[in-house]
Amino acid sequence: MLIEGRSNLTQFLIEERRRHPRATGELNALVTDVSLACKAIAARVARGALGQDAEREPTLQFARDAFTRACEWGGNLAGYSACGEAPATPIPEPYPRGKYLLLFEALDGAGNLDINHGVGSLFSVLRAPQAGATPGDTDWLQPGSSQVCAGYALYGPATMLVLSFGNGTHGFTLDPQLGEWMLSHPNLQVPRRTREFAINASHSRFWEPAVKRYVDECLAGSGGVRGADFSMRWIASLVAETHRILLRGGVFLCPRDGTDPQRAGRLQLLHQANPVGMLIEQAGGCASTGRHRVLTLEPEALQQRVGFIFGSADEVERIERYHEEQLLDGGYRSPLFGQRGLFAPV
């Protein structure tokens, strides 16, 4: 039965399962468990400082435990991996082990809790190479194109759950009176063009020439080579940035920089870039390292980090082209600022 003309999450999952007659329902059950964890986290986050009682676990630990408590018992998972924690965790006895692997960031943007700003949860689901067995270290190292589901929850004025099973990207809003996720944003689409970009300018001294070139051109505005004025954003939450881009377009840059020569980027490939990449691509956008499509990368380690650029296709493709040209000519010379650029050090 439709409520107010909208499907709820359960109805949506049933329809998705009907697209695949051989499906057993385990993936639907796992997503339902994840959605329950997100409801619990939403309730905790909504309490703000009232939920930070010194005698109770911190909200960040509560969020991680909410994921594990909700998902480990149902027999759908062989193991799970929390962002920033190594190694991964096999499903413990006496729970049965299933055929999926869950990677999650329980509370993205946790630093925003103190200022009552955007936070969220992010997750990715992979197939376990051997259902029912303890996952090996290499079982987790699958490219983003192997994901069977990805999604996030955003805890804001309205709590939203955004999902993709490889057939578009769809948004659900939590109805606080019904306690149900209602389909509010079916088939989200990222516009190909945008006049909005998000980047942490405090790291500008470490940017590669291609990124400096792109940002300089955007900041030059209508009088520059782009012939248009751009707005710059930065929320310090990957989930919140993704949500904004899905709803109104834009491009997000957390590029490879020179702060640590041993690290290719700041964001984790398996726990952050891959799920966001799937959601963005299924909505018509692009997700890249600046050099390669994110979802084609073969992971080398569970907690591997990458540079990450995603959003409106025209802008991401432009940035990739600038990286290619950087390799060809060895650098970028701004017509106004020489090699320095607007943000480069003197």
Summarize the annotated binding site for substrate as residue ranges. Answer: 200
| Binding-site residue ranges | 200
Q: What's CA 18's distance to the chain center, in Å?
A: 27
Question: Cα-flanking dihedrals φ and ψ of residue 93, to 5°?
Answer: -65, 150
What is the C-alpha radius of gyration for the chain, rounded to an integer number of angstroms? 21
Contacts of 94 (CB under 8 A, 6+ apart): none
For residue 11, with 0-12 CB atoms within 10 Å meaning exposed, 13-18 middle and 19 or more buried, which class applies?
Answer: middle
Find out whether 216 and 232 touch, Cβ atoms under 8 Å. no
For residue 54, with 0-12 CB atoms within 10 Å meaning exposed, 13-18 middle and 19 or more buried, which class applies?
Answer: exposed
3-state secondary structure of 212: helix
> Alpha-carbon distance 141 to 133, whole Å?
16
> Alpha-carbon distance 257 to 62, whole Å?
33
